[in-house]
């Protein structure tokens, strides 16, 4: 009888310990989910030049025949770098049009750069009504921004310096001078 009582007590202690461990794991998962949601809301910086860095020298022509180069004196420019071989770029391509349509200065201040050996203007043709399209098969623009991963979005000041970088359309600032993303919290 005493062996049975000892076994039941031992099982009760083990079950209580497992329950406490389970509660701690669930609590930690909730904290982690909140942190990840916060990072997703604010957006991750692009894997490229940091904010404040000067974009390297380049000069290319968009599909309309207009020249695009670092540091346009007419104002801040929103630049998205996409690659046809990037799965995340397909998602960004769908979302970016709405952000580009709201960008101050309109189509002349928004540039989509399609880069890589398989780059074609057809890849970004759905964005043509709201953005200028640059095909950068040689990678000159990609190298000027030091992009190492796609997608990458930048706000380039009229001085040629980066005032914001990110990876997702929902985290693009509402206005070049406003550090608050289109949706969500202020950027740090």
- The pLDDT score that the predictor gives to residue 1 is 81
Question: With the C-alpha atoms ordered 168, 169, 171, 177, is the resulting torsion angle positive or negative?
Answer: positive
Question: What is the tens place of the pLDDT at every residue in 80-129?
Answer: 999 998 888 888 888 899 999 999 988 999 999 998 888 888 888 889 99
Per residue in 123-174, pLDDT (tens digit) is 888 899 999 999 998 899 999 999 998 999 999 988 889 988 988 888 888 7
Residue 42's pLDDT is what?
56
CA atoms of 146 and 131, how far apart (whole Å)? 22
DSSP state for residue 14 in the 8-state scheme: H
pLDDT in tens, 60-71: 999 999 998 877
pLDDT for 184 equals 36
> The whole model's pTM is what?
0.73
Q: What is the mean pLDDT of residues 38-58?
A: 79
């Amino acid at each position: 009888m005493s062996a049975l009582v000892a076994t039941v007590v031992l099982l009760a202690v083990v079950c209580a310990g497992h329950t406490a461990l389970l509660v701690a794991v669930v609590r930690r998962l909730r904290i982690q989910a909140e942190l990840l949601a916060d990072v997703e809301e604010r957006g991750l910086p692009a894997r490229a030049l940091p904010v404040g860095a000067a974009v390297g020298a380049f000069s290319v022509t968009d599909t309309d025949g207009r020249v695009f180069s670092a540091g346009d004196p007419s104002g801040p420019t929103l630049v998205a770098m996409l690659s046809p071989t990037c799965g995340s770029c397909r998602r960004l391509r769908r979302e970016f049009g709405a952000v580009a349509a709201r960008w101050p200065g309109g189509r002349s201040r928004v540039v989509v750069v399609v880069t890589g050996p398989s780059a074609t203007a057809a890849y970004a043709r759905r964005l043509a009504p709201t953005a200028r399209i640059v095909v950068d098969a040689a990678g000159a623009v990609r190298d000027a921004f030091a992009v190492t991963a796609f997608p990458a979005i930048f706000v380039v000041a009229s001085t040629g310096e980066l005032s914001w970088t990110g990876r997702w359309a929902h985290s693009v600032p509402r206005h070049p001078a406003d550090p608050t993303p289109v949706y969500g919290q202020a950027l740090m």
